[in-house]
A and B are shown apart, each in its own frame.
Chain A
Amino acid sequence: EDQVTQSPEALRLQEGESSSLNCSYTVSGLRGLFWYRQDPGKGPEFLFTLYSAGEEKEKERLKATLTKKESFLHITAPKPEDSATYLCAGVMDSSYKLIFGSGTRLLVRP
C-alpha cells in the first residue's frame, strides 16, 4: 500500500537550533515529493517539489532533499516564525492522487 510517514510528530526547538524533519515513503513509482507548510486555521502553503533522488531545493532557512526512500526538510537556525505544521506528500507515476503524511508540528521558541 502506498504510504507516506512523517517523523517526529512534534518537534520543539530553541531559536537558532538546527534540525531535520523526516518523510519516508512507500509510494510506487514516485513521480514527485511535495513539501507544504500549514499555519493554524489556514490552507497548506507550497514550499518545494522534488522529482528525483539526489535533488535538493532551498528557500531561506529551509532545504529539502530526496533519496529513494525518504525526504528530509532541514531547518537551519530556525526563527519563531518558522513555527508551523510541515506536511509532505507523494504522487505516484501517472496519478492525480497526492498521498499526504500526517505532518510534523514544529515549535521554535525565542
Chain B
Amino acid sequence: DAGITQSPRHKVTETGTPVTLRCHQTENHRYMYWYRQDPGHGLRLIHYSYGVKDTDKGEVSDGYSVSRSKTEDFLLTLESATSSQTSVYFCAISLEQGGNTQYFGPGTRLTVL
C-alpha cells in the first residue's frame, strides 16, 4: 500500500450541505490530487496540490475547493453539495509531477440526496 488513507469512506448527505473529504499520506510526497470516478467518464481530475498551500484546478473543479496546510493532508470541500456531485472520490499522490507514477487511496463514496 502507498500509505494513503481517505476519510470518511462512505457518506450520505443532503443537497445544499457542506462536505469535507480528507486525504492523509505517510509518504511525504510533494504532489497530491483529487479525482472523481463516474460510470462512462473514467477518472477525472478535480484539483491538485504541488506543495503546502500550493494548489491548482483540474478539469472538473467547479463546485469544489481544496486546502493543504500540511504536507500529509489534502482536503476537498464541497461548499454546497449537489446531486451531480454524487460520485466516488479518489485521492492520489506522486513524488514528482508529469511522468511520475501516481498512487491512489481507497476512495470515498459520496451520495448527495
Q: Which residues of A pack against B, CB within 8 Å?
A: 31-32, 34, 36, 41-46, 49, 51, 87, 89, 91, 93-98, 100-103
Contact = CB atoms under 8 A, between A and B. Distances in A.
A94 to B, nearest CB: 6
B105 A95 contact: no
B99 A97 contact: no
A88 B104 CA distance: 14
B15 interface: no
B101 A93 contact: no
Contacts of A44: 43, 90, 104
Interface in B67-109: 90, 97-107
Nearest to A42: B106
B45 A98 contact: yes
Contact of A100 (B31, B40, B43, B48): B43
Interface of B: 4, 31, 33, 40-45, 48, 50, 58-59, 90, 97-107
A23 to B, nearest CB: 12
A61 B67 CA distance: 41
Contacts of B33: 96
B105 A96 contact: no
A102 B104 CA distance: 17
Contacts of A41: 107
B50 to A, nearest CB: 8
Contacts of B59: 97
Identify which of B4, B43, B48, B104 gathers the most chain A CB atoms within 10 Å of its CB: B43
15 contacts: A32-B98, A32-B99, A34-B102, A36-B104, A42-B106, A43-B4, A43-B107, A44-B43, A46-B103, A91-B99, A97-B58, A98-B45, A98-B102, A100-B42, A102-B40
B104 A45 contact: yes
B98 A31 contact: yes
A93 B99 CA distance: 8
Contacts of B58: 97
Nearest to B97: A96
